[in-house]
Amino acid sequence: MAEKPTVLFVCVHNAGRSQMAAGYLQAIAGDRIEVLSAGSEPRDQINPVAVAAMAEEGIDIASNTPKLLTVEAVRESDVVITMGCGDACPIFPGKRYEDWVLDDPAGRDEGTVRRIRDEIRARVEKLIAELVIS
């Protein structure tokens, strides 16, 4: 794996789960890990409830924009973490793939989105521990 690993988070809309995960990874790992996120069918904006839930944690994802998943993004990543995008994610040999089964925060109430956010944070912290040798 590269000196500085690149992690790509992918969900369908790139408006909730993958944005929260990328926000946490950026905030916690800082410049030790390169962070990308994308969606197989990106929405035009990030879920406002997800933005609010992350703001409660002191992490601002409001200015992020959902991006379309590209083959290049997968190719340049060391770790690809999918969240319910199924077969839409291209597979390249030699990469580490994980599928995080998480509820989609779209249309959910604040309490549900907070629960999803907290589960994402726990998984991101575990991922950082595995990727970063301090």
CA distance 74 to 51: 25
Question: Active-site residue among 38, 49, 50, 85?
Answer: 85
Question: Active-site residue among 8, 10, 11, 38?
Answer: 11
Identify residue 65 by its one-letter amino acid code: T
Is 11 labeled as catalytic in the residue annotation?
Answer: yes
Distances (CA, A) of 9 to 20, 56, 80, 127: 10, 21, 6, 12
Is 89 labeled as catalytic in the residue annotation?
Answer: yes
Question: Active-site residue among 7, 29, 89, 131?
Answer: 89
Look up residue 2 and give its two tokens: 């590269």
Exposure on the CB side of residue 76, measured as CA atoms within 13 A? 10
Is 127 labeled as catalytic in the residue annotation?
Answer: no
Catalytic residues: 11, 85, 89
